Amino acid sequence: MENAVQQINNLSIGFTSKKGEQISILKNITTNIKKGETVGIVGESGSGKSTLALAMMGYVKQGLYTISGECLFHSNDLLRMKDKDLEDIRGRKIAMIPQNAGQSLTPNLKIGYQIDEALKLHTDLKIQDRNKKTSELLNKVRLPSPEIMAQRYPHELSGGQQQRVAVAMALAGNPELLLLDEPTTGLDVTTQAHVLELLNFIAKDTGTSMVYVSHDLGAIAQVSDRVIVMYSGQIVLDGPVRRILKNPIHPYTSGLLKSIPKLTLPGLPKSMSGSQPQPGTITKGCSFYDRCELAEINCSNNSPELEYVKNLNTSVRCFKHKELHEKIDKDENLVTSIENTILDKEMLGLSKVSISYAKKKFIDQLLNKESDDNPTVKDINLNISKGETLALVGESGSGKSTILKSIAGLLKAKEGNIKYENNKILPNELKLRDPNSLRAIQLIFQNPDESLNPNHTVEQIVSQPLKLYFGLQGEKLKDEIIKVLKKVRLGEFYLTRYPRQLSGGEKQRVAVARAFAAKPDVILCDEVTSALDVSVQAAVLNLLQELKKDFGTTYIFVSHDLAVVRAISDRVAVLYQGRLCEIGPSKNVYNFPSHPYTEVLLGAVLEPDPDIKPKLVAEDIVEEKPPEKGCSFQGRCPRKVGEICNSEVPPWQIGENGNAIRCHINVDELRNLQK
């Protein structure tokens, strides 16, 4: 192909196992990247997408080697090139933007110097020209006042700005191909939308080919012209973005799309069963056979080839793609709506809770003076009924996890009190709480890798609360553990396993089992699905919902993902800088009129649909500290009315649907503005 920048032919990369078997991570990848094209590579963890992206740079990770095939860049095979020749191509012709820009920038060198270094390496410009070019580059990635920015150190920039600097450095050599490995994964929703918009602009402006690797179909939808879907080291689907995301003709892709919660469709998405097979475990048949709804005997014996369907301009690896093409799902069949389990009984109440991380200064301590009048979390009033799911939503730094910690007793509230079951005030400190109230409130954490002790078996992990709260021992203990594991759909044979022998979803199930073993009334979920793959996320959400139905548990669900929150919650509270902005039943919060901050968040949500573009209404500035007076959102608000926002705390107003909004703008006026 003439206009292909990169051509990958029959590429397989793998390793040799301890037993001496050759195990492939990538299997027979054939594809090409055309000039000026943006290709999205999507897949869940372990699908081989990062290995493929690295191979496109001529890099194979230590321990892996090329089994067969080639990776041609203008008819030079990168994988068989000498290191010295590769150096000329990397950075100059092919540049990479890593996932975490904060870690890829040298912390003790100024931004300008680091970009200059890239220029020195990849261009032949003289020093004056380089200085000019540095400013130009910083301007191009839309960093404000480039001259000042160049004098800053990486830690003085926010995550989004650091990612922009990484983009600027990658552009320094004027590359023909730009590889992006999950470039927006660690960023806040609004920042992510801004960075994606910038990448789109750069692709158009420079005509660079881009390869965008991500697990996030929403992000892929926004930037790509073409999408490659990877599963278990193989390309299963390859075609134009609209074709792939609107009517996927591979069962994995359609399952993946169905398991993503959507803003427009309330209710829990369907989950896919099972998990991606480990490399080397599939010897014959289709690698998706175990999880496929359409699978036949044929699929378990013969592995399908990547077949080009001409009228759709798509390559697909499935025997039954024609069936899928004709099948159209109705929206209602895609989600299970959540049942109302709310009882008219207050479970937990927070009144006027303020939390401060600031330490009292020694002198203030002596004078018994309040040292922090601008606490991290201020004035939180929340009431949660039994059986309700309340979601706390906000970007990083909004204080949502802080509130959870305070409810759990891990963090002392400075002011206010937390009531449990109508009128019992919970002590501020963990030590002062009685065992029963400790039992009643359980936590589930974001990352099961960290929340499960790596040196304990599943049995030991789940036994902890049972031994502590109920004093169970011996046979009784074991029976109870098995019962609890069954509740989270884990069999008895998991008892002797260690966390490292479980998949991400299984680990999170064990964490859920541990929380439910205590027979709690309230479960605090801290970003429980954000470390999980999309298909697993749906399964965990469904599990939580079922358990709630069985036990009548109350959830407080913290998340930055508005779509996930939409799927599971009854009521939503939106937080900014530790202050409540809006609270109300979730269907109302997701409808206008709403608080300007909710509007900004909703606008930035990325739908897995290339035709729904995010609306960027506010700047993606990161504020270090909440403002001392006035509205918490004054710094970024797109609808700021004037002086009053800076000086007075806005009043609570009740919107027409029963959601409370804290804004100086009248609700009716907000509705008109947001139409």
Tally: H helices and E strands in the chain: 27, 26
Q: Select from 127, 425, 430, 654 the one that contacts another protein (CB under 8 A).
A: 430
> Using H for helix, E for strand and C for coil, what is the string for 149-160?
HHCCCHHHCCHH
| Torsion (CA) 390, 395, 401, 406 in degrees, nearest 10 | -80
User: Given the rule CB under 8 A, which of 99-107, 430-438, 554-562, 588-596 is the region that contacts another protein?
Assistant: 430-438
Interaction pattern, residues 157-196, with another protein; x per rule: CB under 8 A: ----------------------------------------
Query: Of the two residues 18 and 310, which places its CB atom closer to another protein in the complex?
Result: 18
Least Cβ distance, residue 497 to another protein (angstroms)? 7
* Largest separation between any pair of C-alpha atoms in the chain: 81
DSSP for residue 359: P
Least Cβ distance, residue 443 to another protein (angstroms)? 5
For residues 373 and 563, what is the distance between their CA atoms, to the nearest angstrom? 35
Q: Is 21 in the site for another protein (CB under 8 A)?
A: no
Instruction: Kindly identify the residues of this chain, within the stretch 272-311, that bind another protein according to CB under 8 A.
Output: 274, 290
Distance from chain centroid for Cα 463: 31
Q: Is 558 in the site for another protein (CB under 8 A)?
A: no
For residues 281 and 287, what is the distance between their CA atoms, to the nearest angstrom? 9
**H or E element in which residue 392 lies:** strand 389-393
Q: Is 362 in the site for another protein (CB under 8 A)?
A: no
Q: Select from 81, 306, 309, 468 the one that contacts another protein (CB under 8 A).
A: 468
User: Given the rule CB under 8 A, which of 254-262, 351-359, 436-444, 628-636 is the region that contacts another protein?
Assistant: 436-444
List the beta strands (DSSP E) in 76-184. Answer: 76-77, 94-97, 177-181
Structure tokens at 576: 């900014």
For residues 259 and 215, what is the distance between their CA atoms, to the nearest angstrom? 13
Q: Is 383 in the site for another protein (CB under 8 A)?
A: no
Distance from chain centroid for Cα 254: 20
Least Cβ distance, residue 454 to another protein (angstroms)? 7
Q: Is 427 in the site for another protein (CB under 8 A)?
A: no
For residues 408 and 396, what is the distance between their CA atoms, to the nearest angstrom? 20
Q: Is 433 in the site for another protein (CB under 8 A)?
A: yes
For residues 7 and 187, what is the distance between their CA atoms, to the nearest angstrom? 32
User: Given the rule CB under 8 A, which of 219-227, 293-301, 356-364, 491-499 is the region that contacts another protein?
Assistant: 491-499
Q: Is 455 in the site for another protein (CB under 8 A)?
A: yes
Q: Is 457 in the site for another protein (CB under 8 A)?
A: yes
- Which residue from 308, 133, 337, 145 is spatially nearest to 235, judged by alpha carbons? 308
Q: Select from 456, 478, 519, 613 the one that contacts another protein (CB under 8 A).
A: 456
Q: Is 63 in the site for another protein (CB under 8 A)?
A: no
Q: Is 367 in the site for another protein (CB under 8 A)?
A: no
Query: Of the two residues 433 and 664, which places its CB atom closer to another protein in the complex?
Result: 433
For 75, the 3-state DSSP assignment is: coil
Q: Select from 454, 471, 642, 651 the one that contacts another protein (CB under 8 A).
A: 454
Answer yes or no: are the C-beta atoms of 395 and 574 closer than 8 Å: no
User: Given the rule CB under 8 A, which of 176-184, 262-270, 444-452, 593-601 is the region that contacts another protein?
Assistant: 444-452
Query: Of the two residues 12 and 300, which places its CB atom closer to another protein in the complex?
Result: 300
Q: Select from 16, 185, 337, 496 the one that contacts another protein (CB under 8 A).
A: 496
Least Cβ distance, residue 434 to another protein (angstroms)? 9
Q: Select from 442, 559, 634, 653 the one that contacts another protein (CB under 8 A).
A: 442
User: Given the rule CB under 8 A, which of 7-15, 128-136, 376-384, 404-412 is the region that contacts another protein?
Assistant: 404-412
Structure tokens at 338: 């959540």
DSSP for residue 651: P
**Residue owning tokens 């959400």:** 541
Structure tokens at 156: 């003085």
Could you give phi then psi for residue 130, rounded to 5 degrees? Answer: -65, -40
Q: Select from 99, 208, 401, 451 the one that contacts another protein (CB under 8 A).
A: 451
Q: Select from 138, 168, 408, 661 the one that contacts another protein (CB under 8 A).
A: 408
- Which residue from 320, 329, 257, 312 is spatially nearest to 292, judged by alpha carbons? 320
Q: Is 271 in the site for another protein (CB under 8 A)?
A: no
User: Given the rule CB under 8 A, which of 107-115, 226-234, 463-471, 473-481 is the region that contacts another protein?
Assistant: 463-471
For residues 120 and 130, what is the distance between their CA atoms, to the nearest angstrom? 8
Q: Is 252 in the site for another protein (CB under 8 A)?
A: no
For residues 293 and 98, what is the distance between their CA atoms, to the nearest angstrom? 36
Could you give phi then psi for residue 420, rounded to 5 degrees? Answer: -120, 135
Query: Of the two residues 275 and 598, which places its CB atom closer to another protein in the complex?
Result: 275
Query: Of the two residues 130 and 514, which places its CB atom closer to another protein in the complex?
Result: 514
For residues 91 and 417, what is the distance between their CA atoms, to the nearest angstrom? 56
Query: Of the two residues 107 and 435, which places its CB atom closer to another protein in the complex?
Result: 435
Structure tokens at 616: 């960027």
Q: Is 473 in the site for another protein (CB under 8 A)?
A: no
Answer yes or no: are the C-beta atoms of 306 and 238 closer than 8 Å: yes
Q: Is 358 in the site for another protein (CB under 8 A)?
A: no
Interface with another protein: number of residues (CB under 8 A)? 36
User: Residues in the site for another protein, rule: CB under 8 A?
Assistant: 274, 290, 408-410, 430, 433, 435, 438-439, 441-443, 445-447, 450-457, 460, 464-465, 468-469, 491, 493, 496-497, 501, 514, 518
